[in-house]
Amino acid sequence: IKELLSRVWEFWDEYGKNRERVGELIQRVGMANFLDGIGLEPAPEMISAPRDNPYIFFKSKDE
């Protein structure tokens, strides 16, 4: 996973705009270009039903 994150970081560093989030970068350049840029083979789940919400929320242990 460290290698994948390193490739995402390098792609974002090269193509990302100032204060742009990774999700916004993916929307701007397109999922296919992003996956190609980080050297990841696309899976049908990535293209046919991507996440609508770029945020991940965790419930606290108190809830």
pLDDT per position as a tens digit, 22-34? 999 999 999 889 9
With beta carbons less than 8 A apart as the criterion, state whether 16 and 22 touch.
yes
Give the end-to-end CA distance of the chain in Å, rounded to a whole number: 30
With beta carbons less than 8 A apart as the criterion, state whether 13 and 2 touch.
no
With beta carbons less than 8 A apart as the criterion, state whether 23 and 54 touch.
yes
Return d(Cα 63, Cα 48) in angstroms, integer.
33
Residue range 29-54: average pLDDT? 80
pLDDT digits (tens, 9 = 90+) for 1-26: 899 999 999 999 999 999 999 999 99
Q: What is the pTM of this model?
A: 0.66
- Helix (H) / strand (E) element for 19: namely none
Domain ranges of the chain: 2-48
Instruction: Return the DSSP state at 39.
Output: T
Confidence of residue 59 (pLDDT cuts 50, 70, 90): confident
Confidence of residue 42 (pLDDT cuts 50, 70, 90): confident
